[in-house]
Structure 1
Amino acid sequence: MSPSAHSLLLVDDDSAFRKVYGGLLRQSGYEVVEAADRAAARAAFESRAFPLVLLDLMLPPDGSVSSGLEQLGALLGARPGCKVIVVSGVGDTRHSLEAIRLGAYDFLTKPVDPDVLLVVVQRALARVTLERQVESLRSSLAHVGAQTAMVGQSAPFLAAVSLAERVAASDLPVLVTGENGTGKELLARTVHQRSRRHAGPFVPVNCGALAETLLESALFGHVKGSFTGATRDHRGLFMEADGGTLFLDEIGDMTPALQVKVLRALETGDFLPVGADAPVHVDVRLISATNKDLARMQQEGSFREDLFWRIKGVEVRLPALRERALDVPVLAKHFLNQCAHLCPDGRARLLSDGAAEALGAHAWPGNLRELRHEMQRATVLAGERREIQPEDLSFTGAERARPAPPGGSTLAQKVEALERREIEEALRRFQHNRTHTAEALGLSRQGLLKKLERLGLT
């Protein structure tokens, strides 16, 4: 995360200290707000949600350590998630221990080494990011219910759901593949709910959302004192998922170094939390997901072959929304029902014939996520109208009114025109890479070449 993503509060009555170290932090990309006394610090802290405060213990009016520690306690009491780095000209070990006991992230003695300050600040803010991520993951565990309903009736979709249901009762690892927005986490939750582990936790983590060091701590946890700021033991997500299911989303984004540690944990059930001396054993069922071609990645060396085969117990491919056109009106109605709370009268809106036709003609590059957001937007724009009209949709006129396929009126001609259009769109999407286009269309490369020749697209 870039430094500019954070603002810091620097509290010190020494104007020279604020000038030098405030300037250093600004040069490193941080936004720094300064306060010279407790009153200014309190006013600034109450006006903004600072993730980090640099606090001098010797503040006026009395300049005593006890009043500084009292200020520290007040800051942490107001916002427990905030990190406070205490800076003091008094290097007494007793004071530093008391500050840490009260919840300070670290204690630095003046004069502060600039390099040390920047490292401590960076680690403290990284810790804030990690704790927010973990809290978000925990809160998501409570939101299943209706959100886990798999809706659709098209053949490709039903085939994927059927395969997932058949494998759910076992403990085989499941690899869910498909484009972004196709509902991979939704399918993973469905597998968990229909497994023998349904009473246990379902713990999701996005492997592409955290840096390698933060992801390692998030997955495996750490022990108190293992690094600066580790003031207590932290249970990792592997331990959180014990007896349940761990869902590793975007596993293709995991670094090779971390892949080794994850592989060992999956094979033995044992792993070492960061800084621990003894291994921890857990019993988890793994479901992973990716929108990348892991087979090609392991051939290229960017994804470990042994991990690839370890996670690919059963592969379930979720089709893109353009491959399940029959499901678009069904899904649209499902999302409109979920949006009923946005309507003035609390009743779900209906689709007019024109809006339904526009939805059916759209290519849906964002898949289910795009359709859900489109229905939310249309519901709000429709206001008190009972039906959603084409003008409530965000598509351009060209997208909304895609012309009917040319080529005649017989069924064979319409099928050929539709086939041509789908192949042309796939070629454009993959920059005319025929291998990737064939994979996306469910064809062999040779089969695609034959169709290109037959349709005159060579």
Structure 2
Amino acid sequence: MSFPLLLVDDDAAFRKVYGGLLRGAGHEVVEAADRPSARAALEARAFPLVLLDLMLPPDGSVSAGLEGLASLLSARPDTKVIVVSGAGDTRHSLEAVRLGAYDFLTKPVDPDVLLVVVQRALARVALERQVESLRATLAHVGADASLVGQSASFLAAVSLAERVAVSDLPVLVTGENGTGKELVARTVHFKSRRRAGPFIPVNCGALPETLLESALFGHVRGSFTGATKDHRGLFAEADGGTLFLDELGDMTPALQVKVLRALETGDILPVGADRPVRVDVRLISATHRDLGRMLQEGTFREDLYWRVKGVEVRLPPLRERVADLPLLAKHFLNQCAHLTPDGRARLLSDAAAEALVAHAWPGNLRELRHEMQRATVLAGERREVQPEDLSFTGSERPRATASGGGTLAAKVEALERREIEAVLERFGGNRTHSAEALGLSRQGLLKKLERYGLT
């Protein structure tokens, strides 16, 4: 991944020679000749690496340079600063490192040494970003685990997400609450060229408009009551990576305009600022709302809709993934092993599996995960989860349970057949539209029709 560099030095010849050297090595270099111009560049854009001369105008003192270094690192602790200065005695070197400088080089700088130090610093930046993204992913492992399933509609959605991941196209993930939309967004990010960059999620429905605007775009100190210091905002935090706007359909029309402008221009304007900030962000959005209906109602902008809908990935609800229920249940039970007295994952009895198949699952994966946590605890020292360990057993509203006995596989097949029949009826027998709604290829649907005798 390529990162922009900021070269700050009052010596024009030094900037020309070493700026050219860095550009020749494939780096993007922005130059500044004094502290005010360096400060303006840092306010306009995030630079992971800064090459800084300590003795800068207007005063040219080393002490002022060290104060500026401390201020920069305080405001942007993740920035790597390589001090490049003629004031190269041991005292200044140790003080710069103590303040947090990544390295200290003394003029005249060996070009080969400079390139090696810069490359090493940028590798550290990439590693730290990857570690942070992985840490964020691990924090969500308990929420949706991994992409588990084998039903045709689910596999089709996962395949589409993985294929579009390699591009920078925006992705719109749709589906009911609890179907794992953020997990798919993370999958797209970690299979993309931006995987070493940050993955920044934000729930658009969790904050009021004013707070959401500040959270997305940032603000400057004094722009409103309580703004005691500058705040970068999530667009800037996601620079070089992915911004995930969850529940996009909950965003107000006024804020939709500002998000659209940011996506079209690549510039964001923090609240209270008079200069835009350039960002490089891939957008992934998600919503459980019907954006098509919102367009007709005038509550969602059509231009923003086409901007975020580069590729739409629709996640099927759990009731359309009946064949995945035993596999998913086992997966969540394995995750709950730490809740058992012996540390071993509980098994799913046949009776409990049949109860899962019969349930309508309005809460989707989130509900299933909760049920497996609850059942694990209530099972106690028993090796198998029984129907009485489930919250809905006894008051369940039968959805489409197979009558009589038979194996679980047979009941799942019966439910799949009924689902196919219902979709065919909905589309008047049109096999192309039915296959699309079921997440199948036309040939895949024809095979199932033949299998179930639905000719």
* Correspondence 1:43-442 to 2 at 5 A: 140=136, 143-144=139-140, 149-399=146-396, 404-405=401-402, 418-419=418-419, 442=437
Distance 1:264 1:362 in 2: 45
Q: Deviations over 1:232-286 (max 9, x none)?
A: 1111010111111000000001000000000000111101100111100110000
| 1:396, distance to aligned residue in structure 2 (A) | 3.6
Show CA shifts across 1:111-138 (max 9, x none): xxxxxxxxxxxxxxxxxxxxxxxxxx99
Residues 1:406 and 1:273: Cα distance change in structure 2 (over 3 Å): same
Distance in 2 separating the partners of 1:256 and 1:284 = 22
TM superposition outliers: structure 1 runs of 4+ over 4 Å: 137-142, 144-148, 400-407, 413-417, 419-423
> Residue type matched to 1:276 in 2?
A
Q: In the superposition, relative to structure 1, how do residues 208 and 138 fare at CA in structure 2: closer, same or farther (>3 Å)?
A: farther
The separation in 2 between residues aligned to 1:141 and 1:350, in whole angstroms, is 27
For residues 179-215 of structure 1, the C-alpha deviation after alignment (integer angstroms, 9 at most, x for no partner) is 1110000100000010001111111111011000000
Instruction: Summarize the Cα distance change of 1:216–1:141 in structure 2 as closer, same or farther, 3 Å threshold.
Output: farther
Structure with the larger RCO, 1 or 2 (CA within 8 Å, 6+ apart): 2
Instruction: State the 1:414 CA deviation.
Output: 5.8
In 1: Cα distance, 2:269 partner to 2:160 partner: 35
Structure 1 window deviating more from structure 2 (377-386 vs 293-302): it is 293-302
Structure 1 counterpart of 2:23: none
2:322, 2:416 within 8 Å by CA — same for their partners in 1? no
2:361 counterpart letter in structure 1: W
Is contact 1:359–1:400 with CA below 8 Å preserved after alignment?
A: no
Q: CA deviation at 1:404?
A: 4.2
What's the offset of the Cα at 1:442? 3.2
Give the fraction of aligned pairs with identical amino acids, expressed as a percent: 76
Change in CA separation of 1:279 and 1:386 when aligned onto 2, cut-off 3 Å: same
Q: Secondary structure at the match of 1:187?
A: helix
The verdict on how the C-alpha distance between 1:183 and 1:321 changes in structure 2, with shifts beyond 3 A counting, is same
Q: 1:192 to 1:418 in 2, by over 3 A?
A: same
1:405 Cα deviation (Å)? 4.8
Alpha-carbon distance in 2 for matches of 1:259, 1:232: 26
Q: CA deviation at 1:361?
A: 1.3
Query: For 1:327-351, what per-residue CA distance to the aligned partner results, in whole angstroms no more than 9, with x for missing partners?
Result: 1111001101111111111111101
Alpha-carbon distance in 1 for matches of 2:213, 2:340: 44
Contact 1:405–1:417 at 8 Å: present in 2 too? no
Give deviations 1:212-238, integer Å, cap 9, x for gaps: 000000000101111111111111010
Q: Contact conserved, 2:170 with 2:310, CA < 8 A, in 1?
A: yes
* Structure 1 residue matching 2:139: 3-state secondary structure: coil
- Cα RMSD over matched residues? 3.2
Q: Provide the rounded CA distance (Å) in 2 between the counterparts of 1:416 and 1:383.
A: 34
1:148, 1:190 within 8 Å by CA — same for their partners in 2? no
CA offsets 1:69-112 (integer angstroms, 9 cap, x no match) = xxxxxxxxxxxxxxxxxxxxxxxxxxxxxxxxxxxxxxxxxxxx
Equivalents in 2 of 1:194, 1:420: separation in Å?
Answer: 33
CA deviation profile, 1:144-190 (whole Å, cap 9, x unmatched): 56855210011000000000000001000000000111000010000
**Secondary structure of the residue that 2:396 maps to in structure 1?**
helix
Change (3 A) 1:192 1:330: same
Partner of 1:93: none
| SS across alignment from 1:156 | helix
Do the aligned partners of residues 196 and 148 (structure 1) sit closer, same or farther apart at CA in structure 2, a change above 3 Å counting? farther
Q: Secondary structure at the match of 1:399?
A: coil
Asked if structure 1 preserves the Cα contact closer than 8 Å seen for 2:401 and 2:415, the reply is: no
Under a length normalisation based on structure 1, what TM-score does the superposition of the two structures give? 0.59
Partners of 2:223 and 2:296 in 1: how far apart? 36
CA 1:148–1:199: 2 relative to 1, 3 Å: farther
CA distance in 1 between partners of 2:310 and 2:251 (Å) = 19
CA distance in 1, matches of 2:193, 2:354: 43
Question: Counterpart of 1:394 in structure 2: which amino acid?
Answer: S
Q: Is the 8 A contact 1:340 1:348 kept in 2?
A: yes
Q: CA separation of 1:345/1:415 partners in 2, compared to 1, >3 Å: closer, same or farther?
A: closer
Q: Secondary structure at the match of 1:175?
A: strand
Secondary structure at the aligned position of 2:285 is classed as strand
Contact 1:358 1:401 (C-alpha < 8 Å) held by counterparts: no
Unaligned runs of 5+ in 1: 1-136, 428-437, 444-458
Instruction: Give unmatched runs, 5+ long, in structure 2.
Output: 1-132, 427-432, 439-455
C-alpha deviations, 1:333-392, integer Å up to 9, x for none? 110111111111111110111111111111111110000000000001011111111100
Q: Does the C-alpha gap of structure 1 residues 392 and 406 become closer, same or farther in structure 2, counting only changes over 3 Å?
A: closer
2:233 and 2:416 mapped to 1: Cα distance?
53
Q: Tell me, yes or no, if the aligned pair for 2:269 and 2:276 is still in contact at 8 Å.
A: yes
